């Protein structure tokens, strides 16, 4: 009975999917070398790209010495780095991970396997605390609240909206409209995938605390407000009927509340002594109905934009084009 040759049972280097590990980082000299070596061990065939975001502690030199391909992005902000990474790097699977050493590289092969074998477009590493100090209470609470808001509006297919550990398909990366400048980019990833109905997956992964001397760039209140502002803007752009209907309904209800005593007084004695209140109530009613009609019109526009994004997504090949 003939036996299979090596080429029949294992893919050649030419047919194996190309994997890129993307590491945006700023002032991560304490951890970047460890992160690179961990992913070199977990994904030996992957190319590791480190984009140094205006570091001042020698992060770029340490990354280059560890064997990563290093580039510079001088505009501060994770969103700027992600936009440039997605534009410049070609691969079939993209592993995006922070350079702070908090994510477990050992889970990357499973995330990549799930993406490729199941034909998914995004696999998120859902964080599981390895110790009480790994996840600050403010960050934990903020993530739960913001994730719950997005789940209630765009769909409940995600568990950890703000995770910085993800694997993307080439289709996702090359059709993703990266518009944010900071940590809001994770919110954009999630809403973009949910709105287009892309196939998603999740893998639970250990989340560790930063080493002593390493500080998080995420500011709980400042970045939390920015992320919430991003969510509101995305609801306005992607679900305008919902957004403007809510605004219109609020204006109409306030207008009715102001108008009731004015109308009651007019019915009783035929006088309108509170003329400014009557004018304000009428204006609020008019504003409310205008908002409702605006939502209806913008809903059609949003549908057209969604169709255009879907077409752009489908126009990208899942695999690299042959030379």
Name the domain boundary from 193, 209, 238: 238
pLDDT of residue 4: 40
Asked if residue 192 belongs to a domain, the reply is yes
Same-domain pairing of 187 and 224: yes
pLDDT of residue 272: 79
pLDDT of residue 138: 64
Q: Which residue has the higher pLDDT, 214 or 142?
A: 142
Token representation of residue 182: 């900071």
Give the chain's domain count: 2
pLDDT of residue 220: 65
Same-domain pairing of 26 and 96: yes
In terms of average pLDDT, the best of 58-67, 220-229, 259-268 is 58-67
* pLDDT surpassing 80 at residue 131: no
Give how far Cα 174 sits from Cα of 143, 202, 315, Å.
Answer: 27, 21, 10
Same-domain pairing of 141 and 194: yes
Which tens digits make up the pLDDT trace of 56-105? 888 999 999 999 999 999 998 899 999 999 999 999 999 999 998 899 99
Per-residue pLDDT averaged across 235-240, rounded? 94
Name the domain boundary from 238, 263, 294: 238
Same-domain pairing of 205 and 286: no
Per-residue pLDDT averaged across 152-157, rounded? 91
Asked if residue 9 belongs to a domain, the reply is no
How many CB atoms are located within 10 Å of the residue 126 CB?
15
Asked if residue 188 belongs to a domain, the reply is yes
To 5 degrees, how large is the angle CA 133–CA 39–CA 220?
35
Listed residue (188, 117, 128, 195) closest to 157, CA to CA: 195
CB 97 within 8 A of CB 103: yes
Asked if residue 4 belongs to a domain, the reply is no
* pLDDT surpassing 70 at residue 314: yes
* pLDDT surpassing 60 at residue 290: yes
d(CA 294, CA 176): 27
Asked if residue 2 belongs to a domain, the reply is no
Same-domain pairing of 53 and 88: yes
Same-domain pairing of 253 and 217: no
Q: Which residue has the higher pLDDT, 289 or 141?
A: 289
Token representation of residue 60: 């770029």
Distance of CA 295 to the CA centre of its chain: 25
* pLDDT surpassing 70 at residue 227: yes
Same-domain pairing of 202 and 283: no
Same-domain pairing of 229 and 253: no
> What residues make up the domain containing 259?
240-314
Same-domain pairing of 229 and 254: no
Same-domain pairing of 185 and 248: no
Work out the pLDDT band at 9, boundaries 50, 70, 90.
very low
Percent of the chain with pLDDT over 90: 68
Same-domain pairing of 114 and 163: yes
Name the domain boundary from 204, 238, 272: 238
Asked if residue 7 belongs to a domain, the reply is no
Asked if residue 216 belongs to a domain, the reply is yes
Token representation of residue 230: 């991003």
- Identify the burial level of 17 via C-beta atoms within 10 angstroms of its C-beta, where 0-12 means exposed, 13-18 middle and 19 or more buried: middle
């Amino acid at each position: 009975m003939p036996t299979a040759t090596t080429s029949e049972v294992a893919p050649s280097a030419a047919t194996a999917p190309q994997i890129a590990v993307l590491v945006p980082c700023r002032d991560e000299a304490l951890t970047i070398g460890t992160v690179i070596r961990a992913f070199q061990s977990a994904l030996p065939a992957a190319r590791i790209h480190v984009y140094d975001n205006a570091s001042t502690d020698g992060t770029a030199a340490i990354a280059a010495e560890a064997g990563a391909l290093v580039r510079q992005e001088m505009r501060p902000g994770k969103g700027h780095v992600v936009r440039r990474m997605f534009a410049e790097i070609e691969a079939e699977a993209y592993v995006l991970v922070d350079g702070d050493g908090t994510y477990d590289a050992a889970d990357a092969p499973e995330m990549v396997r799930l993406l490729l074998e199941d034909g998914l477009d995004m696999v998120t590493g859902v964080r599981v605390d390895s110790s009480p100090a790994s996840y600050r209470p403010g960050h934990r609470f903020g993530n739960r609240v913001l994730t719950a808001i997005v789940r209630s509006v765009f769909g409940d297919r995600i568990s950890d909206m703000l995770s910085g550990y993800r694997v993307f398909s080439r289709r996702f990366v090359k059709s993703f409209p990266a518009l944010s400048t900071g940590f809001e980019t994770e919110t954009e990833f999630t809403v973009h995938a949910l709105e287009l109905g892309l196939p998603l997956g999740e893998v639970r992964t250990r989340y560790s605390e930063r080493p002593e001397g390493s500080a998080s760039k995420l500011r709980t209140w400042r970045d939390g407000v920015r992320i919430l502002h991003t969510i509101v803007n995305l609801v306005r752009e992607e679900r305008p009927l919902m957004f403007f209907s809510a605004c219109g309904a609020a204006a109409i209800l306030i207008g009715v509340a102001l108008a009731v005593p004015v109308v009651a007084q007019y019915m009783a004695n035929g006088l309108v002594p509170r003329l400014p209140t009557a004018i304000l109530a009428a204006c609020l009613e008019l504003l409310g109905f205008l908002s409702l009609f605006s939502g209806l019109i913008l809903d059609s526009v949003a549908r057209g934009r969604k169709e255009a994004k879907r077409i752009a997504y489908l126009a990208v090949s899942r695999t690299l084009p042959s030379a």
